[in-house]
Structure formats: C-alpha cells, structure tokens
Amino acid sequence: MYYIITAHGKYAEGCKSSCEMITGDTSAFVPVTFTEEMTKEELLKEKEGLEAEYKKFQQRGLKLDMSRGKPSQEQLDLSMGMMDVLTSGVDLTCDDGTDCRNYNAAMRIVSEHKNIQLVAGLSQQLLVLINSGEELADAIEQVGEIYGNTKVAKENKTVQAPKEPVEKNGIVNFRLDERLIHGQVATFWTRTLQADRIIVADDDVLKDEIGVSALKAAVPSGVHLSILSVDNAAARLNAGIYSGQRVFLIVNKTKTIRRMVESGLKVKEVNIGNMGEKEGRQRIKKSVYCTSEELADVEAVEKAGVTVFAQMVPNDEKKTFRSYLH
C-alpha cells in the first residue's frame, strides 16, 4: 500500500520525517509540499513529479490522504465567479453518489479512480499508526479517539499472538534505551509486544522526581508502570511476581543489563535499542554508540549465554549485536 500525503507548507514532509524517527522506514509515504513562495513553474514541476509517482503506483491499490483546508476570505472572494457557472440545475453528484458540494477537487480523483481512498486530516499520529501495521480504518478510529476524547466502538477481532516468547518471569522484551519511555517505546514497541506492564529498572531515575513524573506521563493508557531500583527489579522478577503478565523491561545502561544477568535474572535475549553519540563512544550502527567499557559489558552478557541483538524499531531486521562489529 502506498500513500500520498499533502498539506499546506512543509507539514506533510515534517510528518513523514517525524514518523520515520519513531517507526523506521517510511518509503510507503510520498509527501507533497506546497509553499506560498512557489512559482507557477515550480508548481507545475511538482505536479509532473507527483503524476510520475502516481503512474508508478496506480496499479498497487494507492490510497490518497489530502487535508481539506479552511479557505481565507480572499480565497472565498476568488471563487465568486463559480456562482455564475454552477446553478441549481447542475448535477454535483459523483458516480458513487457522493455529494461534491461539500468537498474539494480530490473527490473527483476518487470518483474517477476506484482504487484510491480519500482521507481528510493529515496528522503524525495517523502516519505512525499506519506505519506500525494498523489497518487504515483502525488507525483513523484511534486518531479520532485521541483528538475527540471519545471511545469508538470496534468490532471483535482475533488478535494474533506476538512472535516474542514470554519468559517464566513475565519478560517479553528486555531493552536498553537511553531515553527509556518515549515515542518508539510507548507507541510502537508496547503495541507490537502487547505488553501490559513496563518496568523501568534504574537507581538514578528513582531519585529524580521530575524524571519519575515524565515516565508516568509517557506510559501508554492501560499499561501498568513499575519504576524500580536495579536490585529490586531483579529480585521481583526472579521471584516470579510478574509471572503471567507481559513485561517490557527497560534500562538505560549496559552495566545495568550485566548486573541483572549476573544477579541470576533468567532471560534469553537482550535488545540494544538506542545509545546516543557521546564523547568516547564509537558507532556500532544507526542509533547505537558504545565505549570500550560498554562493549565489555555486552561481551560479559553474551558469555553468560544471553543473545544480544540490536533493533531500534520492530520493523527493523533483528540482527545480533556482534554482527555489527565486523
């Protein structure tokens, strides 16, 4: 499925870029930019480029997302000439029965091309949900809930079980992410894992009231949050307190992973998701940089029999951490 996204200014381009930071590859989205500074020749060139993209995708079930803007007084004045052309005797109904008096020119495209669907109201949240694997109709419903603060009744659906195995201690994913809970974790990973509890294990965060408040605000609705010291988290997990739950365990340091594994935490694999660029660190892959001490921590975890892989978002290929070192 391919999507053309267009809006005033560079909003569509910005939405795509922001979505890519959260969900990874966004090649299915084709942004179209319109600015006040564009000349007629530039607009025609943009039109030619868009037509070329359309010809490439028109046999692939293309969907079109076009925001309907609110015209200014000057724009309304420019349309006055239409009042002399359209009369009450003119048929303004599309082939599918849609009344075109309340829609823009995009409706004509939809009427002429049955494989195109029009969605009015571009938003970053909509792109993130679509690129996270949600069906278009479900994504629209969820965005409606976000902006309208209303619950939308949904049909009962069979939910496919995630591929990730659940450990006896409840862990479905053990991730290192220096940002802890943020867009990728809250919107993408938690949904993909179908996690019902997030555990943040870090001694420093517990001492930071603002940090704790930020984590509580970032956790997705309906998901339980536990912010624990490293030793307490390991002890509670080892005791099986979260057995039967789907636990997403998040830390922000390699030494924390090593410490928990050496304390006897039973886990088959660990994901190094995000470690930012800092002085003394070398680049391992996109979004992962390590010092020699941090690499030593990873090696110690591997020697303990735990597979370490590096995957920023679920859509990325799941490759071992060591494969990036050669």
pLDDT at 170 over 80: yes
Q: Are residues 281 and 181 in the same domain?
A: yes
User: Which of the four pLDDT bands, split at 50, 70 and 90, describes residue 82?
Assistant: low
Please calculate the CA angle 42-27-40 and round it to the nearest 5 degrees. Answer: 5
Q: In whole angstroms, give the CA distance from residue 286 to residue 276.
A: 9
Q: Are residues 118 and 179 in the same domain?
A: no
**In which domain, by residue range, is 178 found?**
171-325
Q: Are residues 139 and 194 in the same domain?
A: no
What are 201-207's contacts with CB under 8 Å, separation 24+?
A: 201/228, 201/229, 201/230, 201/233, 201/234, 201/249, 201/250, 201/251, 201/256, 201/260, 202/227, 202/229, 202/230, 202/251, 202/252, 202/253, 202/256, 203/229, 203/230, 205/180
Decide if 157 is inside a domain. Answer: no
Phi, psi of 158 (to 5 degrees): -80, 115
Residue in the structure block whose two tokens are 């660990």: 270
Contacts of 258 (CB under 8 A, 6+ apart): 297, 300, 301
pLDDT of residue 152: 43
Q: Are residues 40 and 137 in the same domain?
A: yes
**214: closest CA among 256, 185, 240?**
185
User: Which of the four pLDDT bands, split at 50, 70 and 90, describes residue 271?
Assistant: very high
For 189-247, the pLDDT digits (tens) are 888 888 999 999 999 988 888 888 888 888 888 899 999 999 999 999 999 999 889 99
Q: Looking at residue 288, which CATH number applies to its domain?
A: 3.40.35.10
